[in-house]
Amino acid sequence: MVGYYIPFLLLPSYAVNGTGGHISEQSAAYLLTALGFSNTFGRLISGVLATRNWLDSVIINNLALLIAGAMTLVLPFCESYFLLVVFSFVFGLCVAAFSSLRSVIVVELMGLDKLTTCYSQLVIFHGISVLIGAPVAGYLLDKYNYFYPFYFAGGCMLLSGLLSMFLRKVAQVERRKSGHGGSQSSSENEMKMKSLGTPHEIVGLG
């Protein structure tokens, strides 16, 4: 998630300096308020959707990343305050899915017994990507203009959404490689999950 926080960091300054100067700093600050509100609401919506058996949490996450990436790519062309508000709400809703569904997806793909290990590794790499993304965005902004940081962020999110389409296939390959022991572990894990509930209910217990 190299590009995850770049819109959060640059949206207010872009609204003030990158749209012709007709948006005040106070109005630009309200964009972050709108983004935060929609992000909070989006986490609730993602949690509700994840409880539906006919919906796939991985697909919800991937679609959210693709939409967020596409919205970030077109952000440099949004010069009116109304369009920036629309971006804030839509982007906040989309990125909320990744934050709220991470643990659910880990349980679905890797199993309950690997939740602690896999989730901790996921958080570590998330932190590393954030440390990389912000300086790169700052360099692109100083070197060029607002277009390039947003293109970089949007491209990273689109790539992340596309690569995540193969998560279930990769998980299946890993289980096959583990052989009989993996099948036994998987069966034990399924029994545990049935006794505890669905993945989102299991995570909710923690």
User: Residue 46 in contact with residue 100, Cβ under 8 Å?
Assistant: yes
* Element at 127 (helix H, strand E): helix 115-143
Tell me which of 50-54, 87-91, 103-107 is least confident. Answer: 50-54
Neighbours of 177 (CB within 10 A): 8
The whole-angstrom separation of Cα 88 and Cα 11 is 9
Q: Residues 6 or more apart from 14 whose CB is under 8 A from it?
A: 75, 76, 146, 150
| Residue whose tokens read 């277009």 | 147
Q: Residue 138 CB: number of other CB atoms within 10 A?
A: 14
pLDDT above 80 for 203: no
Residue 201 has pLDDT above 60, yes or no: no
Query: If you average pLDDT over every residue of the chain, what do you get?
Result: 83
Report the length, in residues, of the chain: 206
Confidence class for position 48, pLDDT limits 50, 70, 90: confident
The answer to whether residues 12 and 29 touch, using CB atoms and an 8 Å cutoff, is: yes
Region 127-149: what's the mean pLDDT?
91
Q: What's the rounded mean pLDDT across residues 43-65?
A: 86
Residue 114 carries which side chain, given as an amino acid letter? Answer: K
Q: Which of 11-20, 28-37, 113-122 shows the lowest mean pLDDT across its residues? A: 113-122
Does 199 or 139 have the greater pLDDT score? 139
Top-confidence residue, 121 or 82: 82
* Average pLDDT value for residue range 54-78: 91
Domains plus CATH for the chain? 6-205 (1.20.1250.20)
pTM (two decimals): 0.80
26-44 burial, b at 16+ Cβ within 10 Å, e below that, comes to eebebbbebbeebbeebbe
Confidence band of 179 (pLDDT split at 50, 70, 90): low
Query: Confidence band (pLDDT; 50, 70, 90) for 110?
Result: confident
Burial classification of residue 205, based on how many CB atoms lie within 10 Å of its CB (0-12 exposed, 13-18 middle, 19 or more buried): exposed
Higher-confidence residue of 179 and 136: namely 136
